[in-house]
């Protein structure tokens, strides 16, 4: 056994790099990252690729080791080249992810030290740090002392926890599920539909409340539907409103919906994953007025604070309701219950093992201060209005309503032929070109292009390039002709 242990130890110790090896591999990774950022302005926003990174499979996991240079080459060619480049300021298609450099440093430090930030006993400073981030966001939305929350992987999990909490708070039992009613609109993020399924509420009734011309919930229709449901002895459970829909950036009438939720004693959840951090601006404060009246809120730092993907948050006005919904105990954790000065994230979420994700938010907020974040968000609002004005100078462009936040949609109406086919061709041409990335959507059975301006690297230069490419591609397609069905 002694010889066997020595042999195994020899191999196992290879997992621990010596200082020189650590420095070498870190230097190569840093050089790769710095090169990516240095060239980000010239890199395409989207790359169509025939094999779509398939050659990654040419490097299977094997018994022997591989060198870092080879792995970085494959990473560049098969992972970081094909497809969408969310770090690019020319990506205005989907709601962009951020990728602040200090957040990458924070993730490195969090991974190296590997603090378990789920339980206060395990890492009290880490838990305090994450709770500090949550407290700051609660202050931002106007929640009182006693509010709580959890840093999640994104809006999907935040919305799921919010729905489960609403279910638990109402003491809904399985026998009640088919009589339970959820109110929202067809513009709500599709992760809410997934949350309904995962919360065991597949049998619940989902009422999609009609919207006005700007795709905002019509409160008079909501109020009427609730009365109908109560007369039919159904159980109104939760209202899901949107503070900036992902599709169009629409903001539901938050205050008016709060009036109804309070009057009817229905849980009120606002999905502000995209729009929430616009509260740092005067415009956002006006648009999201009344959000502090919601029982719970979803907000994504990987959107409005430009952090890397995997940075969401759930905020709850009455923190004890979140604790009551999520807290559980285990015998093997009895030592951890000795220290309870602050509530632990593991008691407020389905997650037990978790990344110390709060560090990626805390570090840039401390390094930069709040001022540049506020300025960047104001800039995105103005850039969207600039684009809205300038794109209408292109003959044949039809726009939707003036954007409420930083998302807008439009389409080109050709002199002849089918507009939907033309705009599909237009999107395809833009994607093939790759210099910029726009996305598309369907509204009232019509095909539209959409622009979502929220990358901290997007400035007027990038918006002007998008406008230039639109003119170029419209001219090209028009000259090619034949775009009818």
Are both 267 and 126 inside the same structural domain? yes
Round to whole Å and give the CA distance between 300 and 97.
10
Are both 363 and 390 inside the same structural domain? no
Round to whole Å and give the CA distance between 216 and 214.
6
Look up tokens 């009438």; give the residue. Answer: 253
pLDDT at position 196 is: 87
- What distances in angstroms separate CA 450 from CA 139, 423, 438, 440, one per listed residue? 32, 11, 6, 5
- Tens digits of per-residue pLDDT, 309-335? 999 999 999 999 999 999 888 766 666
pLDDT at position 212 is: 94
CA quadruple 317, 247, 153, 383: dihedral positive or negative? Answer: negative
CATH code for the domain of 243: 3.40.640.10
Are both 31 and 61 inside the same structural domain? yes
User: Quick check: is 362 in a domain?
Assistant: yes
**Of 434, 389, 418, the residue nearest 483 (C-alpha):** 418
- What distances in angstroms separate CA 111 from CA 93, 106, 115, 356, 474, one per listed residue? 31, 8, 8, 8, 48
**Of 102, 100, 72, the residue nearest 86 (C-alpha):** 100
- pLDDT over 80 at 339, yes or no: no
Round to whole Å and give the CA distance between 108 and 267.
39
Are both 228 and 118 inside the same structural domain? yes
Please give the tally of structural domains in the chain. Answer: 3
Are both 148 and 254 inside the same structural domain? yes
User: Which residues are within 8 A (CB) of 274 and not within 5 positions of it... i.e. 6 or more apart?
Assistant: 95, 243, 244, 245, 246, 249, 300, 303, 304, 405, 407, 454
Round to whole Å and give the CA distance between 347 and 118.
8
CATH code for the domain of 444: 3.90.1150.10
- Tens digits of per-residue pLDDT, 190-211? 888 888 888 889 999 999 999 9
Is 99:86 a contact under the CB 8 Å cutoff? yes
Average pLDDT, the chain: 93
According to DSSP, residue 371 is labeled H
Listed residues 315, 342, 368: the one ending a domain: 368
Give the burial string for 62-91 (b: 16+ CB within 10 Å, else e).
Answer: eeeeeebeeebebbeebebebebbbbbbbb
User: Quick check: is 96 in a domain?
Assistant: no
Q: Give the pairing type, strands 446-452 and 407-412.
A: antiparallel
Residue 14 Rama label (left phi>0; alpha psi -120 to 50; beta)? alpha
- pLDDT over 80 at 96, yes or no: no
Round to whole Å and give the CA distance between 458 and 379.
9
- Tens digits of per-residue pLDDT, 341-396? 789 898 999 998 899 999 999 999 999 999 999 999 999 999 999 999 999 999 99
- What distances in angstroms separate CA 65 from CA 18, 56, 70, 292, one per listed residue? 16, 16, 11, 54
Helix axes 371-391, 359-368, angle to 10 degrees: 90
pLDDT band at 229 (very low <50, low <70, confident <90, very high): very high
pLDDT at position 482 is: 61
Burial group, residue 176, by CB count within 10 angstroms (0-12, 13-18, 19+): middle
Q: What is the pTM of this model?
A: 0.94
User: Quick check: is 132 in a domain?
Assistant: yes
Quote the tokens at residue 41: 């302005």
Are both 419 and 445 inside the same structural domain? yes
User: Quick check: is 281 in a domain?
Assistant: yes
Is 325:163 a contact under the CB 8 Å cutoff? no
Are both 328 and 425 inside the same structural domain? no
User: Quick check: is 141 in a domain?
Assistant: yes
- pLDDT over 80 at 98, yes or no: no
Listed residues 368, 396, 431: the one ending a domain: 368
- Tens digits of per-residue pLDDT, 149-194? 999 999 899 999 999 999 999 999 889 899 999 999 999 888 888 8
Neighbour tally for 466: CB within 10 Å: 23
User: Quick check: is 316 in a domain?
Assistant: yes
Print the domain residue range for 74: 2-85
Are both 392 and 278 inside the same structural domain? no
User: Quick check: is 79 in a domain?
Assistant: yes
Is 91:40 a contact under the CB 8 Å cutoff? no
Are both 44 and 138 inside the same structural domain? no
Are both 473 and 415 inside the same structural domain? yes
Look up tokens 């090209």; give the residue. Answer: 476
pLDDT at position 352 is: 86
Are both 361 and 277 inside the same structural domain? yes
Look up tokens 């849980």; give the residue. Answer: 267
Are both 155 and 239 inside the same structural domain? yes
- pLDDT over 60 at 483, yes or no: no
pLDDT at position 45 is: 93
Listed residues 368, 401, 434: the one ending a domain: 368
User: Quick check: is 12 in a domain?
Assistant: yes
Strand intervals (E) in 327-426: 397-399, 407-412
Round to whole Å and give the CA distance between 101 and 30.
11
């Amino acid at each position: 056994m002694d010889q066997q242990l020595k042999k195994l130890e020899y191999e196992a110790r290879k997992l621990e790099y010596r200082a020189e090896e650590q420095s070498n591999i870190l230097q190569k990774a840093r050089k790769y990252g710095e090169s990516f950022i240095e060239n980000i302005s010239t890199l395409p926003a989207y790359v169509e690729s025939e094999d779509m990174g398939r050659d990654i499979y040419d490097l299977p996991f094997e018994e022997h080791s591989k060198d870092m240079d080879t792995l970085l080459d494959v990473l560049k060619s098969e992972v970081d080249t094909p497809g969408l480049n969310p770090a690019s300021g020319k990506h205005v298609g989907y709601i962009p992810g951020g990728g602040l450099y200090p957040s990458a440093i924070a993730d490195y430090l969090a991974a190296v030290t590997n603090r378990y930030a789920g339980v206060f006993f395990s890492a009290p400073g880490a838990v305090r740090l994450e709770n500090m981030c949550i407290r700051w966001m609660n202050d931002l939305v106007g929640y009182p002392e006693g509010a709580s929350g959890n840093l999640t992987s994104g809006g999907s999990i935040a919305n799921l926890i919010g729905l489960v909490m609403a279910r638990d708070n109402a003491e809904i039992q399985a026998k009640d599920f088919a009589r339970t009613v959820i109110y929202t609109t067809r513009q709500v993020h599709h992760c809410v539909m997934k949350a309904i399924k995962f919360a065991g509420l597949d049998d619940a009734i989902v009422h999609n409340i009609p919207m006005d011309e700007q795709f905002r919930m019509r409160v008079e229709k909501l109020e009427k539907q609730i009365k109908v449901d109560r007369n039919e002895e159904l159980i109104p459970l939760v209202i899901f409103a949107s503070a900036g829909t992902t599709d169009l950036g629409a903001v539901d009438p938050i205050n008016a919906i709060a009036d109804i939720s309070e009057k009817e004693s229905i849980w009120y959840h606002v999905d502000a994953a995209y729009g929430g951090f616009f509260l740092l601006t005067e415009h956002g404060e006006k648009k999201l007025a009344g959000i502090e009246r919601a029982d719970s809120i979803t907000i994504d730092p990987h959107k409005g604070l430009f952090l890397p993907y995997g940075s969401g948050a759930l905020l709850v006005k009455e923190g004890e309701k979140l604790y009551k919904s999520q807290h559980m105990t285990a015998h093997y954790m009895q030592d951890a219950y000795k220290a309870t000065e602050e509530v632990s994230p593991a008691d407020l979420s389905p997650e037990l093992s978790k990344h110390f994700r709060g560090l990626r938010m805390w570090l840039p907020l401390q390094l930069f201060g709040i001022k540049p974040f506020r300025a960047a968000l104001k800039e995105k609002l103005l850039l969207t209005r600039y684009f809205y004005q300038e794109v209408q100078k292109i003959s044949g462009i039809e726009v939707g309503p003036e954007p409420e936040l930083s998302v807008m949609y439009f389409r080109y109406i050709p002199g002849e032929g089918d507009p939907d086919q033309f705009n599909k061709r237009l999107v395809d041409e833009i994607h093939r070109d790759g210099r910029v990335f726009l996305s598309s959507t369907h509204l009232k059975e019509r095909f539209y292009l959409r622009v979502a301006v929220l990358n901290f690297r997007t400035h007027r230069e990038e918006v002007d390039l998008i406008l230039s490419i639109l003119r170029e591609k419209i001219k090209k397609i028009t000259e090619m002709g034949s775009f009818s069905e």
